[in-house]
A and B are shown apart, each in its own frame.
Chain A
Amino acid sequence: MRWLLILLAALLALPLTAQDAMPPAPYAYRQLDDPALEARAQGLMAELRCLKCQSQSIADSDAPMAGDMRHQVRTRIAAGEEPETIRAWMVERYGDYVSYAPRVTRTTWPLFAGPLLLLAIAALLLWRRFRKKA
């Protein structure tokens, strides 16, 4: 009986969190009424990094700040903004790191050029080898 009580208490215990007492932002957990707009918002939210919990997207995170970011994304989509405009707004404030969608920039181009270069080298090697045999 005592063990059961302890177990119950452990189950009901809330982790000590440094969270605020304010209710979540209106659109943190509420979907937009228009499914098409909600789908656009979801698409963007899955590709924006939560700044508090950096391996999660804001769509996955329960951090209050991620909730506020979702609220901002949803209200701006509802107001007619394009997802890419909102993404650019975030990148302007936090840099490329805030977006999960890869971009070709001055620092990232070798990541894209590297595989192409390796493919070209492989093709060249193969071509030379087969030409010798023929």
Chain B
Amino acid sequence: MNNWRFFLPLAVFAAFIGVAAYQLTQPKDEFVYSAMVGKPVPQFAMRAASSDRPGLSPADLKDGTPKLLNIWASWCPPCVAEAPHLAALKAQGAPIVGVAIRDRPEDVATFLARYGNPYDRIGADDLSKLQLSIGGSGVPETFVIDGNGIIRYQHIGDIRAEHVPLLLEKLREAGE
């Protein structure tokens, strides 16, 4: 019997420890990404979420102009943190449509009055139907939709200052 064979199980064990230790040092990504990127926005029908903006229909996402589809809610604290950066995107020419998850018109109105309204249209997703069918895993979340209604990019979580140029770039790519 060769000597090296004797140490084979130990080597396998050491390799296992090595892999586990390496994985432990890697940052953990807990996001469940949508598998719908590259596919068309699914069909939906929604009422308008607020009285001063029209609602959202699938046809609005196929009008030839790339858009940001922002999924948010008035009851979601990170959405408050995101508001100034959505305003910055809007100021730099990004068309934004909103989908309010499980929200009441009066709460939506209060939120928009307090934190600003960057949305051209806002639909109300009362049973998270669109959110589930587009593969969204929470609020807030932002999708880049191209002019033909194809989902091109997904941003999970609140938009921070450093994400603004990235989203503008993705929007520009979607328009090519």
A contact residues vs B (CB 8 Å cutoff): 18-22, 25, 49, 51-52, 54, 64-65, 68-69, 71-72, 90-95, 97-98
Contact = CB atoms under 8 A, between A and B. Distances in A.
Contacts of B30: 54
Given A22-B102, A54-B32, A65 B135 contact: no
Contact of A94 (B77, B102, B128, B135): B135
B107 A94 contact: no
Contacts of B33: 95
Contacts of B104: 21-22
Given A20-B73, A22-B126, A68-B127, A94 B101 contact: no
A52 B75 contact: no
Contacts, number: 64
Given A52-B137, A71-B127, 4 more contacts: A20-B103, A21-B75, A22-B126, A49-B32
B127 A97 contact: no
B132 interface: yes
Nearest to B78: A18
Interface in B114-136: 126-129, 131-135
A19 B36 contact: no
Contacts of A71: 127
A54 B36 CA distance: 20
Interface string B6-37: 00000000000000000000000010111110
Nearest to A69: B132
B35 A93 contact: yes
Given A18-B77, A52-B138, A94 B103 contact: no
Given A18-B75, A22-B104, A51-B137, A95 B35 contact: yes
B34 A68 contact: no
Nearest to A19: B75
B99 to A, nearest CB: 13
Nearest to A96: B35
